Amino acid sequence: MTAVIDKGKCNGCELCALYCPLDVIHMEDGIAVIKYPDECWHCGACRQECAHDAVTFEFSPAMLAI
Amino acid sequence: MAAIFGSEIHRVKADVVVIGGGTAGLNTALAAAEMGADVLVVDKAHIQRSGAIAGGIDHFFAYLETGEPWDTRDAYLAYVSKVARGAANIKIHEKVFCDELVPAMERTERMGVSLHQPDGKILRTQALGQPGPYAINFDGKLLKPKMAFQIAKKHIRTINRVQVSNLFLHNGELAGLAGYDIRNGDFYEIQAKAVVISTGNTNRMFKSQTGNPFNLWYCPANTGDLHRAAFDAGVELANVEYVRMTIVPKGFSAPGFNAFFGMGGKFVNGLGQPFMNDYHPMGDKAPRNMMVWGALQEVRAGRGPIYVDVRHLSAKELAHLFSQLGIDKDTLPEFLKAKGYDREGALIEMSVSEPMQARPSELCGSGIKIDETCASNIPGIFAAGDASDQMGCLHMCMAGGYAAGKHAARYAAKVARLRPLKANELENERRRVFLPLMRNAGAAPGEFENIVRMITTDHFGPYKSEVSLTSAIAKLDALDRYRDELKANNLHELMRCHEAMNIHSVAKIVAHAALARKESRFIPYHYRSDYPETNEDWCGLVAVRKDGETSVATRFERLPYAA
């Protein structure tokens, strides 16, 4: 379960990494990276803060299948 | 690596330090600043998006004095007395909620978040045992960022990404606190005349439905950090024996209960039969604990799974329900869509959520025991919001958070000077905090946390008895040796180590409190199989306090209610 960042759309503004309540997103080489995907709460804060539509969400097989 | 972390020490002073910048904490900070106090907010995440409503919120409970018999202060208090009987202190409720309600609603609107619908009307729905529709439905998607904007506008100092690790006293009164920056490893030594603890509840304490401990109804960053630190400082906790649960979509522990059942959803079992009337006279509008109780009984009787039936709703009603769900949990509508529920005639499969250490009702809290001034038993330590034993939910965090800020500022104004922090205590704390980074080997925090969750879930998640609780305490105590060997490879893992240790410590406190309450109340939140009935003799608070280095002392405080 996690947020997914489109590297092509991310402009490195850092807002998602700055605000993520679970410290899941970090900056690497000027691009936001989901460093701890298993710790995503799916709150959607990163997507709401992103001005470039770079964030989407994927639901884990367990979430969808059980 | 370890030699670098903690070498940079920041020494900070403030009149009032607010620990936890969620809804309650930011309202606390605004109030204390307006009273003229020098305020500092410390948050483990970032106040823009921290706490329970990071991604949004969609309802605010209130009575509005519209002339309806159920819509008065007295009727509301009668509701609190009924639904939160034995947990809510009505005198405190009046002070921290009723007296603060109108200004809290006005403040919400002034921040730029309207409690009205686009057509200017107020839309209210009824659930959770309410005698009338107390839940104002509104678009609180941006409430948290708007609150954070007010903090910046008033130039209130904020330190983000700092996990507070402990509180320090001087002659039995608050002197300050310590913490570290989870991003750069800097250490903070903060002197304060007063602190307000507003760090929510303890989540990640029980197994979750998918096995991922971050797939939770409430914010997984809330790990009882300050419940543990306050307890160690001698602060009394109350209402912590309750294990809170709700009804969530199968696979995704997201909020939405209030919208699902407030907007006409019907709770049915696997046979397609409504069942809540068998468990409570209010049926699907019963208090939350009874909805959970009903669901557990149906599943246990072999009549699962459980569903929310929305087939009778019009397309317009269904669209409104889905959009409302997306306000409360940003990603829930697309999850429901991915599950194939965006079609006519769908039954939405639900589940009982993971348990958590939290309030037994929307009308009280679970944690630091407060009085009418939001003060704990230790001078200088206050609490607000879910972290306190008397507040919870958005309405009380907006209203009561503000009350706590006023009281803490008043208290700080009377304290002539900052009390001293002891150098040796701070040095010991700095060593303790960074120790997991210095170990060459040891258990990973996630592995340790998983063991805690297996014990708690088996022994009191939620059903419990003297045998199960005594056994849980013995097993949790035996875990101490693994706790003392936790290893972190970086600062993020260091934070997770401290969270795991705090969850473990709070789990022990919860078990001790549950052992003391020899009755059942708010079933299944406190269901003792050896004392299955609710007993009026236990209508009140079990207060827990640290007794010596390893022991827990409990006492009972009766709560009076109007007949």
| DSSP character string of A26-58 | EEETTEEEES-GGG-----HHHHH-TT--EEEE
Q: Do B251 and B338 lie in a common domain?
A: yes
Say yes or no: B442 and B559 in one domain. yes
Mean pLDDT on B160-182: 98
Other CB atoms within 10 Å distance of the CB of residue B485: 14
Residue at which a domain ends, from B111, B131, B150: B150
Kindly indicate the confidence band of residue B534, based on its pLDDT and cuts at 50, 70 and 90: very high
Q: Got the DSSP string for B204-250? A: SSS--TTS-TT--SS-TT-B-HHHHHHHHTT--EESTT-EE--EEET
Query: Quick one: B252 and B239 in the same domain?
Result: no
CA dist., res. B254 & res. A63, Å (int): 11
Q: With an 8 Å Cβ cutoff, are B210 and A21 in contact? A: no
Which residue in the set B46, B141, B495 is minimally distant from A18, CB to CB? Answer: B46
> Phi and psi for B346 in degrees, rounded to 5?
-80, 140
Give B525-559 as a DSSP string. TBEETTB-S--GGG-EEEEEEEETTTEEEEEEEE-
Please give the share of chain B, as a percent, with pLDDT higher than 70.
99
Residue-wise pLDDT tens digits, B443-482: 999 999 999 999 999 999 999 999 999 999 999 999 999 9
Q: How many residues does chain B have?
A: 563
Which residues of B sit within 8 Å Cβ distance of A?
45-46, 48-51, 54-56, 141, 161, 182-183, 209-212, 214-216, 219-221, 250-252, 254, 329-331, 334-335, 338-339, 492, 495
Cα–chain center distance at B525: 15
Task: Give how far B516 is from chain A: nearest CA, Å.
Answer: 34
A42–B212 C-beta distance less than 8 A: no
User: Does some domain include residue B544?
Assistant: yes
Tens of pLDDT along B57-70? 999 999 999 999 99
Q: B532 lies in a domain?
A: yes
Residue B163 resides in a domain: no
**B10 sits in which H/E element:** strand B9-19
- Residue type, position A7, single letter: K
Q: Which residues of B touch A20 (CB under 8 A)?
A: 45-46, 49
Please name the member of B209, B334, B492 whose beta carbon is closest to the beta carbon of A23. B492
Partners of B211 on chain A (C-beta within 8 Å) are 62
Residues B305 and B219 in one domain: no
| Interface with B, mutate which of A22, A34, A58 (most B CBs under 10 A) | A22
B406 near B31, Cβ under 8 Å? yes
- CB within 8 A of B337, min separation 6: which ones? none
Q: What is the pLDDT of residues B379-390, one digit of tens each?
A: 999 999 999 999
Residue position matching structure tokens 């609603």: B105
CA–CA gap between residue B345 and residue B343 (Å, rounded): 6
Q: Which ipTM value was assigned to this complex?
A: 0.98
Closest residue in chain B to residue A56, using alpha carbons only: B331
Residue B6 has pLDDT above 80, yes or no: no
User: Could you give the number of structural domains in chain B?
Assistant: 3
Tell me the whole-structure pTM to 2 decimals: 0.97
**Chain B partners within 8 Å of A36 (Cβ):** 492
Of A21, A36, A63, the CB nearest to B210: A63
Mean pLDDT, residues A44-64: 96
- B272-300 mean pLDDT: 97
Inside any domain, residue B71 = yes
Quick one: B221 and B327 in the same domain?
A: no
The pLDDT of residue B2 is: 45
End residue of a domain, out of B112, B131, B150: B150
- Residue B34 covered by a domain: no
- Are both B255 and B238 inside the same structural domain? no
Q: Which two tokens stand for residue B545?
A: 């306090």
The single residue listed with the structure tokens 């006409």 is: B264
B492 belongs to a structural domain: yes
Cα separation, B238 vs B257, in Å, equals: 26
B165: left (phi > 0), else alpha (psi -120 to 50), else beta?
Answer: alpha
How much is the mean pLDDT over chain B? 96
Position B105 pLDDT exceeds 50: yes
Q: SS3 for B523?
A: coil
Among the residue ranges B123-132, B168-177, B255-264, B284-293, the one predicted with the least confidence is B255-264
Strands B173-181 and A25-28: unpaired
Phi then psi dihedrals of residue B169, to 5 deg: -115, 160
Domain boundary among B318, B352, B386: B352
Confidence (pLDDT) at B263: 83
Distance CA(B374)–CA(B396), nearest Å, equals 12
User: Per the structure block, which two tokens stand in for B9?
Assistant: 């020490």
Cβ proximity of B556 and B540 under 8 Å: yes
Residue recorded with tokens 């919400």: B108
Whether the CB-CB separation of B86 and B386 falls below 8 Å is answered with no
Name the residue among A35, A44, A63 with its Cβ closest to that of B252.
A63
d(CA B201, CA B190): 23
- How are beta strands B187-197 and B9-19 bridged, if at all? parallel
Please spell the DSSP secondary structure of B410-429, one letter per residue.
HHHHH--SPPPPPHHHHHHH
Top residue of A41, A56, A64 to mutate, by most chain B CBs within 10 Å, is: A41
Residue A48 has pLDDT above 80, yes or no: yes
B499 exposure class (CB count in 10 Å sphere: 0-12, 13-18, 19+): buried
Distance of CA B201 to the CA centre of its chain: 3
Q: A64 and B251 in contact by Cβ < 8 A?
A: yes
Kindly indicate the confidence band of residue B4, based on its pLDDT and cuts at 50, 70 and 90: low
What is the DSSP annotation of B428-450?
A: HHHHHHHHHHH-SS---HHHHHH
Q: For residue B495, give how far its alpha carbon lies from the nearest alpha carbon of chain A (Å).
A: 10
Query: Testing the interface with A: which of B180, B306, B330 to mutate, by most A Cβ within 10 A?
Result: B330
With a CB cutoff of 8 Å and minimum separation 6, the contacts of B419 are B170, B171, B173, B174, B175, B176, B191, B193, B380
Q: Are residues A19 and B46, on separate chains, in Cβ contact within 8 Å?
A: yes
CB B31 within 8 A of CB B198: no
Do B366 and B240 touch, CB atoms closer than 8 A?
A: yes
Instruction: CATH number of the domain at B240, please.
Output: 1.20.58.100
Identify the residue whose tokens are 């210095």.
B438
CA distance B20 to B14: 15
pLDDT at B1: 45
Domain that holds residue B478: 205-245+354-361+438-563
Model pLDDT, residue B261: 87
With respect to residue B138, please indicate whether it lies within any of the assigned structural domains: yes
Nearest to A41 among B210, B220, B492 (CB): B220
Which residues in chain A have their CB less than 8 angstroms from residue B330's CB? 42-45, 47-48
B255/B247 Cα distance (integer angstroms): 8
What is the rounded CA–CA span in Å between residue B160 and residue B181?
8
Give the mutation candidate from B26, B46, B352 for the A interface (greatest A CB count, under 10 A): B46
CB atoms within 10 A of CB B447: 12
Chain B closest CA to A49's CA: distance in Å?
Answer: 10
- The per-residue pLDDT for range B225-249, each reduced to its tens digit, is 999 999 999 999 999 999 999 999 9
Residue B396 lies in a domain: no
CATH among 2.40.128.640, 3.30.70.20, 3.90.1150.10, 3.40.720.10 for A2-65: 3.30.70.20
pLDDT of res. B515? 98
Same domain, residue pair B241 and B259: no
Instruction: Compute the CA torsion angle B330, B331, B336, B342 (nearest 10 deg).
Output: 60
Task: Please tell me the distance in Å from B54's CA to the nearest CA on chain A.
Answer: 6
Chain A residues in contact with chain B using a Cβ-Cβ cutoff of 8 Å: 1, 18-23, 35-36, 38-45, 47-49, 57, 59-60, 62-66
Q: Is pLDDT of B161 > 50?
A: yes
| B370 or B2, higher pLDDT | B370
Name every residue whose Cβ is closer than 8 Å to that of residue B180 and which is 6 or more positions away in sequence. B5, B6, B162, B163, B165, B186, B187, B188, B433, B434, B494
Identify which of B54, B55, B335 has the shortest CB distance to residue A59.
Answer: B335
Is the distance from CB of B51 to CB of B22 less than 8 angstroms?
yes
Query: How does pLDDT run across B478-506, given as a tens digit for each residue?
Result: 999 999 999 999 999 999 999 999 999 99
The model's confidence at residue B322, banded by pLDDT at 50, 70 and 90, is confident
